[in-house]
């Protein structure tokens, strides 16, 4: 994946530490989803309580995460926030594994979300600042690390259960991995000290070595910065893209069972195909961005998606649907990492503001699955899925490549 070429610019150890943080974060999510039937049985949860476990932490956590980027700032102050968030992150995962009641698990997961914002989102922002001219490439690597974590979660649950353990032990082991990722991040502080003593090493905050901790500009100035920057365009496109990414996935199995009339087992295979194709797409993107400008890549993928998604809905054969699903997933792989990198590019020196803006837009983005669900309820799931054809049309709003690139 080209790590040796990055070594002199960012530091291989520092890059791997950042990617480990994202891996563990998605590993927690994948594990939670896979273990939910076991959790429900052990804690005697109702379906309403299962829904609350999914919704309440997301809403409260997003609200608590909103000021995180603003308060964290940049430089050494942000680093302290990252490490503090990491301690809470590990504690929350451990508490989730040890929870013996619905309330205990709800509290643990609610604490986990803002802790993830501090530990994971701020690490992403620092990574983006460390090499501004390689943001798209680093976001592609970041997304790949997360995809691997999401796939590894169910595998971890199956492995622990196969060895005679429980879902609780899985969470405890992941807390240990989180502690290891925290130690790796803390170790980048040693790299900073070496750099100041003349040793050639890079840290996640190299982008701010010449300006120090950048202060919060105030709400009025922040609003003015956002308006002038064009960040709102990228935020809107990120939320639109998410409909074809994260919103499509949970409706995929329902669509195949209710509309295509396959068995739940076959629908589960389709979800596995999508996850595997997502990994492949992330790997391909890393290599593609070495040769092509990021906006060219995403615009080309949008045109391909305009053909693939309607074809996926229309073709009758199940085998061909699986092929088209895999191709569609690979085609949309560039959307999130490139759009997120463009958001950071639009706010140079204000990555902390980008973190808070992403949290705010995420609250609105939660309406996406609700809207699809309402359409499915009133018009039918087939029409609801057809409405997603509007997503690549809106994505054509991505500007063309910059001149000279």
Within-domain flag for 401: no
User: Do 210 and 295 fall into the same domain?
Assistant: no
Q: What is the pLDDT of residues 240-279, one digit of tens each?
A: 898 888 778 777 877 888 888 888 778 878 888 888 898 8
User: Do 203 and 299 fall into the same domain?
Assistant: no
Within-domain flag for 163: yes
Nearest to 129, CA basis, from 344, 353, 358: 344
Q: What is the pLDDT of residues 332-391, one digit of tens each?
A: 999 999 998 888 888 877 777 777 777 777 777 667 777 887 888 888 888 988 999 999
Within-domain flag for 26: yes
pLDDT band for position 168 (cuts 50, 70, 90): very high
- Section 314-324 average pLDDT: 92
Within-domain flag for 400: no
- Section 319-325 average pLDDT: 93
**pLDDT (0 to 100) of residue 255:** 85
User: Do 17 and 100 fall into the same domain?
Assistant: yes
User: Do 190 and 295 fall into the same domain?
Assistant: no
Q: Do 372 and 243 contact (CB within 8 A), yes or no?
A: yes
User: Do 259 and 141 fall into the same domain?
Assistant: no
Q: How many CA atoms lie within 13 A of 246 on its CB side?
A: 15
Q: What average pLDDT is seen over the chain?
A: 82
**pLDDT (0 to 100) of residue 8:** 41
User: Do 204 and 233 fall into the same domain?
Assistant: no
Question: 29-33, 88-92, 236-240 — which one is most confidently predicted on average?
Answer: 88-92
Which two tokens mark 214? 């950048």
Higher pLDDT, 190 or 127: 127
Whether the per-residue pLDDT at 152 is higher than 80: the answer is yes
User: Do 186 and 57 fall into the same domain?
Assistant: yes
**pLDDT (0 to 100) of residue 344:** 86
Question: What is the number of domains present in the chain?
Answer: 2
Query: How distant, in Å, are the alpha carbons of 54, 57, 71, 311 from that of 109?
Result: 9, 6, 22, 39
pLDDT band for position 300 (cuts 50, 70, 90): very high
C-alpha to C-alpha distance for 195 and 247, rounded to whole angstroms: 44
- The CATH number of whichever domain residue 282 belongs to comes to 1.20.1250.20
Contact residues for 280 (Cβ-Cβ < 8 A; gap 6+): 326, 330
**pLDDT (0 to 100) of residue 346:** 83
Domain boundary among 216, 247, 282: 216
Ordered DSSP codes for 149-182: HHHHHHHHHHHHHHTT--HHHHHHHHHHHHHHHH
Query: How distant, in Å, are the alpha carbons of 191, 257, 260, 264, 312 from that of 267?
Result: 48, 7, 10, 5, 14
User: Do 113 and 29 fall into the same domain?
Assistant: yes
Q: What is the pLDDT of residues 91-107, one digit of tens each?
A: 999 999 999 999 999 99
User: Do 175 and 239 fall into the same domain?
Assistant: no
User: Do 359 and 383 fall into the same domain?
Assistant: yes
Measured from the Cβ of residue 308, the count of other Cβ atoms closer than 10 Å reads 21
Which residue segment(s) compose the domain that 268 sits in? 225-395
C-alpha to C-alpha distance for 146 and 275, rounded to whole angstroms: 11
Q: pTM of the entire structure?
A: 0.78
Nearest to 206, CA basis, from 4, 6, 1, 3: 6
Domain boundary among 162, 194, 216: 216
C-alpha to C-alpha distance for 301 and 358, rounded to whole angstroms: 23
Judged on CB neighbours under 10 Å (0-12, 13-18, 19+), 22 is buried
Q: Do 92 and 111 contact (CB within 8 A), yes or no?
A: yes
Domain boundary among 182, 198, 216: 216
Whether the per-residue pLDDT at 207 is higher than 50: the answer is no
User: Do 147 and 243 fall into the same domain?
Assistant: no
User: Do 275 and 343 fall into the same domain?
Assistant: yes
Long-range contacts of 208-212 (CB under 8 A, 24+ apart): 208/74, 208/75, 208/129, 211/74, 211/75, 211/349, 212/75
């Amino acid at each position: 994946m080209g790590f040796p070429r990055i070594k002199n610019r960012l530091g291989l150890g520092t890059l791997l530490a950042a990617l480990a943080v994202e891996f563990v974060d998605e590993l927690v999510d994948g594990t939670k989803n896979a273990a939910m039937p076991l959790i429900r049985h052990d804690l005697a949860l109702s379906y309403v309580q299962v829904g609350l476990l999914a919704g309440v932490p997301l809403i409260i956590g997003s609200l608590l995460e909103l000021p995180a980027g603003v308060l964290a700032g940049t430089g050494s102050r942000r680093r302290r926030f990252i490490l503090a968030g990491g301690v809470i992150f590990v504690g929350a995962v451990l508490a989730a594994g040890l929870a013996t009641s619905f309330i205990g698990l709800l509290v643990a997961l609610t604490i986990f979300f803002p802790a993830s914002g501090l530990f994971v989102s701020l690490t992403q922002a620092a990574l983006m600042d460390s090499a501004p001219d390689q943001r798209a490439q680093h976001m592609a690597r970041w997304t790949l690390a997360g995809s691997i974590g999401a796939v590894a979660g169910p595998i971890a649950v199956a492995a622990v259960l196969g060895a005679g353990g429980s879902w609780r032990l899985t969470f405890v082991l992941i807390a240990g991995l989180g502690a290891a990722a925290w130690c790796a991040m803390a170790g980048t502080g040693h790299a900073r000290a070496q750099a100041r003593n003349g040793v050639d090493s890079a840290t996640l905050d190299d982008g701010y070595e010449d300006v120090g901790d950048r202060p919060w500009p105030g709400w009025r100035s922040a609003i003015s910065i956002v308006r002038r920057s064009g960040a709102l365009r990228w935020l809107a496109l990120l939320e639109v893209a998410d409909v074809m990414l994260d919103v499509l996935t949970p409706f995929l199995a329902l669509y195949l069972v209710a509309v295509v009339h396959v068995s739940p087992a076959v629908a589960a295979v389709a979800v596995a195909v999508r996850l595997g194709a997502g990994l492949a797409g992330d790997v391909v993107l890393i290599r593609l961005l070495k040769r092509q400008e990021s906006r060219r890549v995403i615009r080309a993928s949008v045109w391909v998606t305009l053909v693939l998604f309607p074809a996926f809905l229309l073709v009758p054969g199940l085998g061909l649907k699986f092929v088209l699903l895999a191709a569609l997933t690979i085609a949309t792989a560039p959307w999130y990492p490139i759009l997120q990198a463009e958001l950071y590019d639009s706010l140079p020196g204000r990555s902390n503001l980008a973190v808070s803006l992403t949290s705010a837009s995420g609250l609105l983005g939660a309406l996406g699955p609700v809207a699809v669900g309402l359409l499915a309820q009133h018009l039918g799931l087939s029409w609801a899925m057809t409405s997603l054809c509007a997503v690549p049309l809106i994505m054509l709003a991505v500007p063309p490549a910059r001149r000279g690139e």
